[in-house]
A and B are shown apart, each in its own frame.
Chain A
Amino acid sequence: MKITGLIIAVLAGALLMYATVDFPPFGDPYSPASMHVSPRYIEKTMEETDVPNMVTSVLADYRGYDTMYETTVIFSAGVACFFLLRIFRRKEPGERLYRHVLTGVTIHVKKGAKLPPSDDFERIDTAWIPHDLIIETGCRLLIPFIQLFALYVIAHGHHSPGGGFQGGVMLGASVILLAISQDLRTAVRRFSEKVDALLCAMGVFIYAGTGALCLLLGANFLDYSALAPLLHTDPVMARSHGIFIVEIGVGIAVMATMIWIYCNVSSKGEYEEGL
C-alpha cells in the first residue's frame, strides 16, 4: 500500500506541478481571476449592498445560495453525528457515586437509588479526577467575555472581518470550554440536547426561510431587495439588512452544531462523561 500511495502521490503531484507552468505569476494584478468577475464585487459592493466588507457581501448576497448550502452541510454533519452515535440509555446504572464537596467523602449509592440534586454533593464517574479550582474559576470568568466578543464579531461582519461562521464558532467554543473545564453534565444541564437540536434546525431555517420569504414576495430566491417593503427601506439597505438576518441564522446554526458534535463525539453518544 505504501508503494502504491507513493506512486500515486508522485504522479499526481507531477501532473499538478507541470500544469502550473501556464499559470499567471503569483500576485499578478492582471490575471484572469483578478480581472474577470471580482472587479464588480470590489467596485460595486458599497452601491449595491451597502456593506464595506466585500467578503461578507459576496458570501451572503452575491453567492448567498452557496452559503445556505454550506450551513446545511454543517447542520447535516450535526444530525449525522447524532444519528451515528447517540445511545439512549434505557436502564439507569445500578449504582452511583457521590462526593461530598466540602469534606471529600465519597458515597456509593446502590440499587438504583439517587440523591436529589444539590450543591453539597456532586455526582462523579468512575474516571473522575479532582477538578482544579483555578481552571474552573478562570474559565467561568472568561466565558461571558468570549460570548460578548462572539456577538460583536457576528454583528460587525459588515464592517470588519467576521460574520456568522466566525461568531458562531466562538459561541460554540464558549460552551465547549464550560464542558471541558467543568463537566459535560454541567454543560448539558445549562444547554440541553433538545434545545441544541432545535436551535440548529432553527438557525438554518432562518436562512432558508428568508430566501423563501423573498420567493413568496415575488422575486427570485434569496433576492433580498424584495424585502424592502417589509423593512421600510430602499432595496440597497434591504440587502444589507437581509445579509445581517442570514448571518444571525448562520451564527445560531453553527453554534448549536459545534456543541452538538462535541457532546456526541466526546461522550461516545452516551452523554454521561465528556473529555
Chain B
Amino acid sequence: MSQDYPALLVIVPLLSAFIISAAGWVNKRLCFPLSVAALSVSAYSCIGLLLRVLNEGVVHYRLGGWPPPWGIAYYVDYLNGLVLCVVSVAALINLIATKKSIEQEFPEKTGPFYTLYVLFVTGMLGITVTGDAFNLYVLLEIGSITGYALLAMGDEDRAPLASLNYLYMGTIGACFYLLGVGYLYIVTGSLNMVDIAHILPGLYQSKAVTAAFIICMVGVWIKMAFFPLHAWLPNAYTFAPSAASSLIAPLMTKVMIYVMIRLILTVFTPAFAFTTLAVSHYIVWLACIAIVMGAILALAQHDLKKMLTYIIVAEVGYMVGGAWLGNRAGMTGAVLHIVNDALMTLCAFLVVCNIVYKVRGYAFADLKGLFAKMPFTMGAFVIGALSIIGVPPTCGFFSKWYLILGAIQAHHYDFMVALLFSSLINVVLFFRVFEIGFYEPFSDHEGHEHHSAVMAEAPLSMLIPLYIVTAGLILAGLYTGDIVNHIIRFVIPEGFI
C-alpha cells in the first residue's frame, strides 16, 4: 500500500470526481461525503509519502511500468513532499469549512461544484508530484479550466468578465510554458525533467536553452501573478464565490512558485540559472517593485477581499525575490514561505467566507462592529493578520526572517527595505480593519446603529476548521526549526552558498 502512495494521491480524487459527477444527478447529498472521503485519502497518502521521503530519500514511481524517459515517472523529493502535504491538507480543511457556504450559494449545482473542486485539487496535486515536463502542462490546464469555471459563478455582474480575462492571461501563460518545453525538446530530445537536467549541461551556451528558460519563466510568472503580469488576480479572486476563492487563492500561486523553484533547481540547475544567465539581479529588483506596488495598491482598496488579493501579489514578490537571491537563506525563506503563505491566505479567506456567510458583504462598510458580532471569527483574523505582518511566534515572522537574512547575505539591501516597508504597510492595512471592526458601532442595513450587537457567529462547521488553520499558523511558526532542518535543508543542493 505504501508503495502506491504516489499514485493514490492523484488517482483517488480523480476517480471520485467522476463518481461525484454521476452522484450529483442521482442524489445531491452524496457529493459532500464523497469529496471529503476522496480528499482525506489523498491527504493521508501525501503525509505517508512525505514520511517515506524522510526515511528513504527520493521516491520514484513509474506509470505504466515504463522506465523514464520513455514513460512518465514521478519524482518525489523533499520539496515535492512538503508542498503536496500543504496542498492536500489545505484543500481538505477548506472543503469542510465551506460546506454551508456552498449550499447557500449553489443550491442546484452542488454536484458540478464538488466535481470541479475535486478536479482542481487533482490538478494541483498532479502538478506538484509529476516529474515530466509535458505532463505538468496537461495538469496545469486541468487546474486552470476548473479554476476559470469555479471563479466565474460569483458576483453576477463582474465575475464572468473577470474570469474571462483570467482565461486569456492564463492561456498565454500556459502556452508560453508549452513553447518553452518545446524548445527544450528540440535541443535535448527528452521530456523527463531529470533526463533533461542530465543532457543540458553540455548545451548551456545554446541560445535555444536561454530562450526556453526565459519563455518558461515568463509563462510561470503570468500564472503566479508576478508584477507586472498580475492584472488578472485581484478581479478574478474578489468577485468569485467565497468557497472557490478560499480554495484557489492559497493554492494556485503557491504551486506555480513550486514549479518555478523546480525549474531553477532541478531542470535548469542553479549553475545555469544564476551563473550562466546572470539576470537574477534584475529579477530581485522586479520582485522589490512587486512588493512595493502590491502594498501600495492594497492601501487604496475599500473592501477586504480586494485588499487581501493585493497582499497576495506582494507575497508572490517575496517568494520570487527570495528564490532569485541565489543563496541558501533566500531559497529557504522562499520555500518556507510557500508553506506559510498557503496557511495565512487560507486563514484570511476562510475569515472572509465566514463574514460573507453572515453579513453578505465584504466591503469595509460591512465590517463595522464585527468584533462584537463575530468575536471568534475576528479573533482568528487577528492571528492571521499578525502572521501576515510578521509577528513572532506566528509563521510569517520566520519566513520573513530567512528572506531578510538572505537579502543581507546577497547584499540586496533594496529587497530588505522592500520587505520591511511591506510589513509596515501591512500593519496599517490590518489595523485599519481592526479599527473599523472594533470601534465602529455595528449598523444593520436599515442604517440604525446599535452599540451592543447580539452575537451572531458563523456555525461551528465553519469555525472549527478556521481554528485548526489558525493553530497551524502558530505551530508552523514554533516548529520552523524542525521544518527547515529536516526538510528544507535537503531541498537545496549542496553547492549552493
Contact = CB atoms under 8 A, between A and B. Distances in A.
- Are A and B close enough to touch in the complex, i.e. CB under 8 Å? yes
A143 B201 CA distance: 56
Interface string B9-31: 00100110111011001000000
Interface stretch (B178-186, B315-323, B373-381, B389-397): B178-186
Contacts of A121: none
A103 B44 CA distance: 69
Contact of A41 (B62, B70, B152): B70
Nearest to B179: A16
A220 B113 contact: no
A141 interface: no
A83 B109 contact: yes
Contacts of B22: 197-198, 201-202
A268 interface: no
Interface in A105-119: none
B142 A76 contact: yes
B189 A37 contact: yes
B64 A62 contact: yes
B113 A221 contact: no
A19 B214 CA distance: 11
A101 interface: no
A80 B146 contact: yes
B15 A69 contact: no
A220 B62 contact: yes
Contacts, number: 167
A1 to B, nearest CB: 12
A40 B70 contact: yes
Contact of A72 (B142, B152, B191): B142
A79 B116 contact: yes
Contact of B4 (A35, A65, A83, A215): A215
Contacts of A16: 179, 211, 215
B148 interface: yes
Interface string A196-240: 011011101100110110010001111111000000000000000
B459 to A, nearest CB: 25
Task: Name which of A75, A83, A202, A222 has the most chain B CB atoms within 10 A of its CB.
Answer: A83
A170 B22 CA distance: 24
A82 interface: yes
Contacts of A62: 64, 66, 70-71
A70 B208 CA distance: 28
B69 interface: yes
A33 B189 CA distance: 4
Contact of B64 (A20, A41, A61, A200): A61
B153 interface: yes
Interface stretch (B132-140, B272-280, B347-355, B486-494): B132-140
B112 interface: yes
| Secondary structure type dominating chain A contacts | helix
A31 interface: yes
A66 B132 CA distance: 10
A32 B208 contact: no
A170 B18 CA distance: 23
A77 interface: yes
Contact of A20 (B7, B190, B208): B208
B4 A73 contact: no
A66 B18 contact: no
A194 interface: yes
A84 interface: yes
B428 interface: no
Contact of B65 (A32, A66, A70, A219): A219
A206 to B, nearest CB: 10
B207 interface: yes
A83 B207 contact: no
Given A76-B145, A80-B145, A194 B14 contact: no
Interface in B136-187: 138-139, 141-142, 145-146, 148-149, 152-153, 160, 179, 183, 185-187
A83 B190 contact: no
A211 B186 contact: no
Given A18-B207, A22-B208, A83-B113, A75 B187 contact: no
Given A19-B183, A83-B112, A31 B142 contact: no
A131 interface: no
B189 A69 contact: no
A250 B19 CA distance: 17
B97 interface: no
29 contacts: A15-B215, A18-B211, A22-B206, A23-B186, A23-B208, A24-B186, A32-B186, A33-B186, A35-B189, A36-B69, A36-B199, A61-B66, A62-B70, A63-B64, A63-B71, A65-B64, A69-B135, A72-B122, A72-B142, A73-B141, A79-B112, A83-B109, A84-B149, A201-B18, A201-B22, A205-B19, A220-B63, A220-B65, A223-B63
Given A22-B206, A70-B138, A77-B145, 7 more contacts: A33-B186, A36-B199, A64-B64, A205-B15, A220-B7, A222-B64, A225-B65
